[in-house]
Amino acid sequence: MKLYNIKTTFLSVLAVAALASCSNDDDMTMEPTPMGTDFSGTYTQADHMGRPGINTVFSADINGQTNVKNSFNRTIPSQMNAQFQAGFEARLEQYHDVYAELLGFQPEDVNYETNILGLDATTLTTVLANDALDVAPDMPTTYFNGTQVLTGRALADDVIDISLTLLFGGETGARFSGQDTNNDGNADLPRLTSDGVALTATLSTSFPYLGAPN
C-alpha cells in the first residue's frame, strides 16, 4: 500500500499556483491550458494484487514451469486455477519435505496436514491459486477470525500469520509452533505459524484510518 503525504502535495500545488500568478504586468491574465490524458497504445497487466504473500510463497519455477511469478501477475483470476493450482500444491508439499529433512524425519512423516478450516492440500491450493480478495458485504470484514474466513480484509488482520497457520498449522492451527516436545527448554519443532511481526500502526475509525507513516 502506498501512502502519499497529502499535506506536502497540497502545499506544493499552492506554491506552483502562486508562482504562476506572479507577473510584472498587472494587466496580464493567464488562461488555463487544456490538459488531457493520452490512453493510446497497448497496455499489459503487470501486477495482480490479491492476497498478500501468495505469489511470493508459491510461484516457484518448478515442475517445468519458468517465470511463474510474472506469469501469475499477468493472469486473470478465472484462469489462475487451471494454470497454477498443481504447481502450488507441489510447492506446498515441497516445503513440508524440506522441514522433514531439517528435523531428521522421513518426508512422509511431515506431509501437509488438513488445516484448521478442514481444507486438504488440493482444496487449499485451489482456493489460493484463485488469487482474488473476496468481500462479503453482509458479514464481518475479516481475513480469518476463527469463524469467518476471507470475507474481506480488516486493517488489523495479520494476514501473514493467518496464511502461515493455514499452511503449516494442521488441524489445530498450532502443528509447527516451536513446541518443546521433550521438555528440555529448547524448541524441537520449527516455528512456522507466525513471522513474529506484530502490528505497530495506529488505527482509527475515520479516514484515512491509518496514522502518519513512520
- Per-residue model confidence (pLDDT) at position 9: 35
| Residue 33 domain-assigned (yes or no) | no
| Burial (Cβ within 10 Å: 0-12, 13-18, ≥19) of residue 206 | exposed
| Residue 48 domain-assigned (yes or no) | no
**Which pLDDT band holds residue 118 (cuts at 50, 70, 90)?**
very high
- Per-residue model confidence (pLDDT) at position 164: 94
| Residue 82 domain-assigned (yes or no) | yes
User: How many Å apart are CA 191 and CA 168, to the nearest integer?
Assistant: 9
User: How many Å apart are CA 137 and CA 127, to the nearest integer?
Assistant: 20
Q: For residues 24 and 103, which has the higher predicted lDDT (pLDDT)?
A: 103
| Residue 114 domain-assigned (yes or no) | yes
- Per-residue model confidence (pLDDT) at position 62: 60
| Residue 136 domain-assigned (yes or no) | yes
The total domain count for the chain is: 1
**Which pLDDT band holds residue 135 (cuts at 50, 70, 90)?**
confident
| Residue 42 domain-assigned (yes or no) | no
Q: Which domain holds residue 75?
A: 54-168
Residues 129-166: b if buried by 16+ CB within 10 A, e if exposed: bbbeeeeeeeeeebbbeeeebbbbbeeebbbbbbbbbb
| Residue 115 domain-assigned (yes or no) | yes
| Residue 143 domain-assigned (yes or no) | yes
pLDDT tens for 16-60 read 333 334 444 455 555 555 567 888 888 888 887 778 888 888 987
